[in-house]
Structure 1
């Protein structure tokens, strides 16, 4: 039976859309052998909670944790409490701590890394010592649960730092304290405008010099760096400058297939928000790469790229709405609600295109449910579906 529904096409109104995609086969996977792969997971809002903008987050723990079990079952590791989980966009520090503790308690084989930041500080200017203390408080939580720390890019540090030396002061202090090698985090301003000029320069090349020097002088304490600049050339250039044994985790949700595949010199591992939305495809592609079947790897990943580019289109920081939307369509959460009311971050025509591209990428895992749920969304939005 062919599934179809009428979808918005912009100002022109509605047009019949017939689903054509074949869902990527579901299954249980062991972790890929050739690449480390983290999916940055979102949180599911409690639909009965007061998740209004600015209110403390009220989380649906059952569905939030069930989604992580889904990712682990596919062989992916979980990057917990990252920007995908709405750090700085609705997820407050008390809820973040509980999220980290609950998720770490269930992670198989310690397949979890957690975001360590400074977002418990109120907005505004803070001295560097206060920034360091905030990082240390969050680092202690990661250490307590035995998770690998990801030292997240900090709005507070970006506002406080007067030069690259200030970044060095903060990171040198933190790296010396961690009991295990950490993942550094370079998030471009397209993901968070408050991070413009991170590492002390608006020039990505100058900033890369700071990063390389920092890593070289702290190599024993650095597992790798997660880079989200949406610029494959800049990522490859940095990757080739890293000391041997230090990983580059791509956070490039536009160019991940080529970066993970790599070149004759090196490859990128993965720490991606889009992997939460395309998890079955990501698992299948990575295992094809393990088997040396590059053609299959490309075949599985290729149709996911237009979807990823759409979800992460400008304003990029609203990509989280698309991640939660697909989780709802696929039955991983009961409603299309988000902490902070962020489900309003994308328009109905934008979500309609997300639906089309997800179908064509084979990541609508339950097409009949997806059609039913999108039809419900159209009705409550005032569209005669």
Structure 2
């Protein structure tokens, strides 16, 4: 049975701050793991292929948890699921920092991924509920804190490790920060997962409609575009555009910076343009960015193209999460979970699809395919309800 709403769902600064804090904590956890990856590879002596399988364990754990997250959030509420997920981060980080057996590290990463997946959906449900009772857009600002957390985790973790701290000591510093932030935010997290829990249809009777499935496909494309830059941008810049190997990360760095900046200003942009125009303009920017990457020569213009893709993609998923939460065909916890889970498939499967297309033809053709897929977001924006 779904939890009844025992607390008034009203907009408040405390709830908004708490929601941003959890987005930050989840981003921090992912960023810190990124800083620990090279150390994990050294400890386990994992080859590139083995490391890829390890990272797949993380993604598989996330996806599995997300598949059941809607029901769990509806039953236990956002607060309980978020607290459980953060506790899982904190318990597993020492293992991620010290385990040298590749099989135990795989298990640890799978469980860590489950925590990430649960937190991802629960914080988006919380954000959607808070935004619905607010008089202004909030979702892009929430997602911007995830980006900031990722930068803080990766950058801060690298600084701590570079200063001579061991991986274990560095993770304990991060654990302390995550526990403090989560503890201060706990009371403002929602103890329920749907604003209309008593009247909601049972999850077994609820069915996604065309708009929800379209939003899931649009989110999948957006995540696929992000994964393409992350996993293949550096390869394209070095092999096709002649950029030095030591600068291969510049493409994703510029992508991430423009995405973070656009999300920081995204709520104001949504207020001015409206959600439909944000989807249309964002997808057009994505198309232009990828075409700039593949058509014009020189790595300078390719870097500009990746930056443009980041600017365009930044606010697409936050808008889709908001729209999913407003669909009345399903409870908020279920509709947001569907879009977030299917969208996440773009992160897992997208880079593999890009690699397959590149194997058959070239990376330029693969990136052009992503540009064409952005047209689905452009056209789909006209089919959604605002």
With structure 1 as the length reference, what TM-score do the two structures score?
0.27
**Which structure exhibits the higher relative contact order, with contacts defined as CA atoms closer than 8 Å and separated by 6 or more residues?**
2
With structure 2 as the length reference, what TM-score do the two structures score?
0.27
